[in-house]
Homo-oligomer: A and B are copies of this chain.
Amino acid sequence: MPSLPAVAGVRLGAAAAGLRYQGRPDVVMAEFAPGTTVAGVFTRNRCPGAPVDWCRAALAGGQARALVVNAGNANVFTGRAGVAATEATAAAAAALVGCAPAQVFLASTGVIGQVMPHDKLTAALPALHAALRADRWADAAHGIMTTDTFPKAATRSARIGGTEVRISGIAKGSGMIAPDMATMLCFIATDAAIPAPALQALLARGVGASFNCTTVDSDTSTSDTVLLFATAAAAHAPVPTAGGAMLRGFRAALDEVLLDLALQVVRDGEGARKLVRIDVAGAVSAKSAKRVAMAIANSPLVKTAIAGEDANWGRVVMAVGKSGEPADRDRLSVAMGGVWMAREGTVVDGYDETPVVAHMRGSEIGIAVDLGLGTGRARVWTCDLTHGYIDINGSYRS
């Protein structure tokens, strides 16, 4: 994990509330300077957790003063008790910070369907709040982990109107809290001063090209949350509400942080041993290319072949065909590790598997498909499907 420098206007920390785990931090809190703007992107799952509902509503105000995250209980499918838990947590944090509850943002990851023991959580907040510091990013990255095998963090700097600003983020990913689902959470803070509408546009675009271009197993958590906080502590020239050209450098740096974190999540996919990049070109549109790429990325047969280090381009052809997108078998080309093995509907004359076999043994696999129909392109990432995935997800709750 890279060392994250302080972001002016952010103090954070972690504490052990004993929600599910014992003897490790499981609650993370951050306090943001007055005037902090916020943007958020959430799961598309139609059965989201109560904290997702809370954040969606709070986002309307565009202002944030605090973030409270817990690991161990997802507060999903908990009915009215779940709503009450979010209200109590936000109220407790708001009282400590001195802000409106709607300026407190919440996220939970862990077991589904168990009522959140929110009294334990709120009981831990006063001491946690008193100990918040600017240099506790590593504690926060560890505190949101579930069965992630490593903490995930990324940082970049950028310039807005000649002034340097910092963007730092942490994420947790496809580790599981046995026996429940992988949840992706990501929290990013910057000291830039960016109006909420511009911040939201930047985040939505950046997530679309990073987290939303990754998949571990096609299953969509009820709790996925990405939040971006801008503390306005940096003294740069004012940014227009709509953003615009002066944010070009900031946007590039933010996109890098998002992609860095998203790929860390995929790399730590449950049981994953290989990171797989899939490039689709020649589709009738970018949207069609992405659907084809995701069909390949989510195919259990493609993913098990990669786990077996098998350059099985037949399964890639199958996955292209099952996507339902326009494809012409006789114009289709497939490459692995940069070697085009099948072109225009059949295997390449004199195809030599040797370099591809060597590529498949590596930890980063590249698959490319050219549909030969148009100019639509997409790039997505996934991981292989291994015995480890079955072990993690098929074990009985204990």
**Chain A contacts to B: CB under 8 angstroms:** 44-48, 74, 76-82, 111-114, 179-182, 217-222, 298-301, 304-305, 307-310, 312-315, 317-327, 329-330, 332, 342, 344-347, 385-387, 389-390, 393-397
Contacts and interface: CB of A to CB of B under 8 A. Distances in A.
A390 B386 contact: yes
A255 B284 CA distance: 39
Total copies of this chain within the assembly: 2
Contact of A315 (B180, B301, B396): B180
A47 B327 contact: yes
Closest 10 CB pairs of A and B: A112-B314, A79-B346, A47-B321, A308-B394, A45-B321, A304-B393, A220-B322, A304-B394, A47-B329, A46-B321
B319 A219 contact: yes
20 contacts: A45-B321, A46-B325, A46-B326, A47-B317, A47-B327, A76-B314, A77-B342, A77-B347, A79-B330, A80-B346, A111-B314, A179-B308, A180-B312, A218-B218, A218-B322, A300-B385, A308-B396, A310-B395, A386-B394, A389-B390
Contact of A300 (B79, B300, B313): B300
B393 A308 contact: yes
Contact of A113 (B220, B342, B387): B342
Contacts of A397: 310, 312
A122 B271 CA distance: 46
Given A76-B317, A112-B314, A346-B78, A389 B47 contact: no
Contacts of A396: 308-310
Given A81-B346, A310-B179, A386-B390, A318 B113 contact: no
Nearest to A81: B346
A312 B345 contact: no
A220 B114 CA distance: 37
B390 A217 contact: no
Given A47-B317, A390-B390, 17 more contacts: A45-B322, A46-B323, A46-B329, A47-B332, A77-B317, A77-B332, A77-B342, A80-B346, A112-B318, A218-B218, A219-B315, A304-B394, A305-B393, A305-B394, A307-B394, A308-B396, A312-B397
